[in-house]
Amino acid sequence: MPEKLLEVKNLKKYYKTKRGPLHAVDDIDFTINRGETLGLVGESGCGKSTTGRVVLRLVDATAGEVIFSGENILNYDKNKMRNFREHAQIVFQDPFASLNPRMSVSEIIAEPLIINKKASSKQDLHKQVLQLMDTVGLAARLENVYPHELDGGRRQRIGIARSLALKPSFIVQDEPVSALDVSIQAQILNLMDELQKEMKLTYLFISHDLGVIKHVSTNIAVMYLGKIVEMSDYASIFKDPLHPYTKALLSAIPVPNVDVHRERIILEGDVPSPISPPPGCRFYGRCFMRQDVCKDQDPVLNQISETRKVACHLVKK
């Protein structure tokens, strides 16, 4: 029986802007079981990174619940939050911007251990840092170098080592391989996979790259303009995408195979603004299957089969 580690209910995050409220995350629900990975995929501005941050309370939610190990962390006070942060960590996209350029590799990895008083002595701290470096495949000789001396792949390993320092159970991976070359990207994806198995980690893996998402995920959620439009186990969505947006997204990926020919669906226009979105389906303006009902009624995320949910008026059980 899979155990729910994280459950998100009716989560909303609106930002106030001069032109009206920006619906970054607009009423989404999902759960992640312990040891599994939920892949959150979508294009720029769809709210996937905001979701990752709201779930960790790095930004405050406008409404909704984030239930972690049975407790709503949005009600936590400062002390409880500090405790929660030991269990839930994040790895950021840009391994240059997320590492302090004036701290050495070992200082960066040691920082969470020092702040949370996890080391009994200097020797113990040093030992733990070296162990973490070894875990992520960083050579011990690099302990005194600075991030700018390293390439993107090694820098991202520092970010991963830091995220593992407090032995978390849950990690938000926010586009962790997007800035890396493919050969290095594959190294990092394999590392994350090994770590997940060894440490029974649970990931919320955010990416715009469906290939990466398929590779890492147990379940996949597709976001469009602040809403989850489709949720599925990792395999079915690629065989048989249901939501028109998922179909278009999948068909738009250039496949590195000259013998596979996909029918390409070219969407019209750009992603509309998330500020004061009109009623009805968010995808209405670009949808190639739209009907009158889609204009006024916002579709809800309906359970279609045991593992699949879709928010579209045109998809029935």
Partner 1 sequence: MPENTAQASNEALLDIQDLSIHYITEDGTVRAVNNLNLSLKRGETIGLVGETGAGKTTTALGIMRLVPDPPGKIVGGRINFAGEDLTQKSDAAMRNVRGKRISMIFQDPMTSLNPVIPVRDQIAEVILLHEKVSAAEALAKAEEMLLKVGIRSERAREYPHQFSGGMRQRVVIAIALACNPELLISDEPTTALDVTIQAQVLELMKNLKREFNTSMIMITHDLGIVADICDKVAIMYAGSVVEIGDKYDLFRNPKHPYTIGLFNSLPDIEKDEDSLKPIKGFMPDPMDLPSGCPFHPRCDVAKPICMQAAPSEYVNVSENHRVKCLLFSDTTGGE
Residues that bind partner 1 (CB under 8 A): 43-44, 151-154, 181-187, 189-190, 193, 208-212, 214-215, 235, 238, 248-260, 264, 266-267, 270-271
Considering beta carbons, is residue 211 or 278 the nearer one to partner 1? 211
Residue 31 half-sphere exposure, CB side, CA atoms within 13 Å? 13
Least Cβ distance, residue 285 to partner 1 (angstroms): 13
Comparison of 118 and 137: residue with beta carbon closer to partner 1: 137
Rank residues 70 and 254 by Cβ distance to partner 1 and give the closer one. 254
> Please, what is the minimum distance in Å from the beta carbon of residue 181 to partner 1?
4
Give, in order, the Cα–Cα distances in Å from 46 to each of 40, 102, 284, 304: 10, 34, 15, 23
Q: SS3 for 25?
A: strand
Q: Which is nearer to partner 1, 95 or 112 (CB)?
A: 95
- C-alpha span between 179 and 177 (Å, rounded): 6
Token readout for 62 is: 């406008």
CB of 249 to partner 1, least distance (A): 6
Geometric angle at alpha carbon 205, from 185 and 212, rounded to 5°: 40
> Helix crossing, 152-164 with 182-199: angle to 10°?
10
Q: How far is the CB of 175 from partner 1 (least distance, A)?
A: 13
Taking the complex as a whole, the smallest distance from the CB of residue 211 to partner 1 amounts, in Å, to: 4
Closest to partner 1 by CB, 70 or 256: 256
Looking at beta carbons only, is 1 or 266 nearer to partner 1?
266
CB of 31 to partner 1, least distance (A): 24
Q: Which of 67, 50, 16 is nearest to 225 (CA)?
A: 50
Evaluated on CA atoms 197, 191, 238, 5, the torsion sign reads positive
Instruction: State the minimum distance, in angstroms, from the CB of residue 20 to partner 1.
Output: 19
> Strand order in 227-233's β-sheet?
88-91, 170-174, 202-207, 37-41, 219-224, 227-233, 308-310, 302-305
CB nearer to partner 1: give 4 or 264: 264
Are 27 and 35 in contact by the 8 Å Cβ rule? The answer is no
Provide, rounded to whole angstroms, the least separation between the CB of residue 283 and partner 1: 11
Cβ proximity to partner 1: between 66 and 249 the closer is 249
In sign, the C-alpha dihedral spanning 78, 72, 228, 40 is positive
From the list 113, 162, 118, the residue with the least C-alpha distance to 136 is 162
> Could you tell me the end-to-end alpha-carbon distance of the chain, in angstroms, rounded to an integer?
26
